[in-house]
């Protein structure tokens, strides 16, 4: 007679669970002409997928394999000996957040519900976008520009390489990937053109609202 050991099968389920690459929230060509289908294809299908695959390899058989992606990031961010896991986990999270920060026919004016918060934080929507653009343009090397909320006030921050705002008091609302792989096929060295095209045409204000609620 065969008996089923429930605790054991639960372990098997947990051990086999891995972090999966989320489905891209739009077609690969949806962001054209601001970001080409070719860039999205490489960025999502090679870079983002690569981070997910690497992280899963690195956490297999470790204590981290039972944790959520956010828990992995928080528990490795200050452990230099876990830098490889942190980098791949955080890049996985950052990219998922980045895709949600963009949408076809995005950009334009922020929703009316956001106006008072934007005005009280930056003075005006134009100043908010300017702060995001300046942060993205002045970030030296690879990293991320973020719109965040801290203590009821919006602000713009940057993180370098794979660094994350998740272990800080800044709640992320929107991000711009300023690694060269995000724009080089379309814009070569012209990061400003990429950032401005993204701000003007792709920002997903609905996602900002969702993250505020
Ligand atoms: Mn990227």
Note the pLDDT tens digit of each residue in 116-172. Answer: 999 999 999 999 999 999 999 999 999 999 999 999 999 999 999 999 999 999 999
pLDDT-derived band at 213 (thresholds 50, 70, 90) equals confident
Q: How far is the CA of 43 from the centre of ligand 1 (A)?
A: 6
Tell me what the pLDDT averaged over the chain comes to: 93
Question: For the domain with range 112-212, which CATH number is right: 3.20.20.70, 3.55.40.20, 3.40.50.2020, 3.40.640.10?
Answer: 3.55.40.20
Q: How far is the CA of 139 from the centre of ligand 1 (A)?
A: 15
State residue 9's pLDDT score. Answer: 43
Ion ligand 1, residue ranges at CB < 5 A: 177, 179, 182
DSSP code at position 46: I
Q: How far is the CA of 9 from the centre of ligand 1 (A)?
A: 37
Query: 178 with 88: CB under 8 angstroms?
Result: no
Query: 176 with 137: CB under 8 angstroms?
Result: no
Q: What is the pLDDT of residues 64-110, one digit of tens each?
A: 999 999 999 999 999 999 999 999 999 999 999 999 999 999 999 99
Query: 174 with 204: CB under 8 angstroms?
Result: yes
Assigned token pair, 165: 């705002």
Sheet holding 143-150, edge to edge: 153-160, 143-150, 171-177
Of 107 and 3, more confident? 107
Q: Which of 82, 96, 89 is nearest to 162 (CA)?
A: 89
Q: How far is the CA of 92 from the centre of ligand 1 (A)?
A: 9
24-28 mean pLDDT: 98
pTM exceeds 0.85: yes
Q: How far is the CA of 6 from the centre of ligand 1 (A)?
A: 41
Torsion (CA) 174, 176, 182, 188 in degrees, nearest 10: 150
Answer yes or no: CATH 3.10.590.10 is held by domain 14-26+35-100: no
State residue 17's pLDDT score. Answer: 58
Q: How far is the CA of 66 from the centre of ligand 1 (A)?
A: 26
């Amino acid at each position: 007679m065969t008996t089923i050991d429930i605790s054991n099968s639960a372990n098997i389920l947990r051990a086999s669970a891995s972090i999966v690459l989320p489905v891209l929230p739009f077609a690969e060509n949806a962001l054209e002409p601001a970001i080409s289908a070719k860039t999205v294809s490489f960025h999502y299908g090679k870079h983002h997928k690569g981070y997910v695959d690497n992280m899963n390899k690195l956490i297999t058989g470790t204590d981290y394999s039972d944790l959520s992606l956010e828990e992995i990031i928080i528990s490795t961010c200050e452990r230099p000996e876990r830098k490889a896991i942190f980098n791949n986990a955080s890049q996985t999270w950052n990219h998922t957040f980045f895709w949600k920060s963009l949408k076809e026919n995005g950009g334009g004016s922020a929703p009316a519900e956001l106006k008072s918060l934007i005005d009280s934080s930056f003075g005006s929507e134009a100043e908010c976008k300017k702060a995001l653009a300046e942060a993205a343009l002045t970030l030296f090397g690879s990293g991320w520009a973020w719109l965040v909320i801290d203590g009821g006030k919006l602000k713009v921050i940057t993180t370098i390489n794979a660094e994350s705002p998740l272990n800080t008091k800044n709640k992320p609302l929107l991000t711009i990937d300023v690694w060269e792989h995000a724009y080089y096929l379309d814009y070569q060295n012209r990061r400003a053109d990429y950032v401005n095209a993204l701000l003007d045409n792709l920002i997903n204000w609905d996602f900002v609202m969702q993250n505020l609620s």
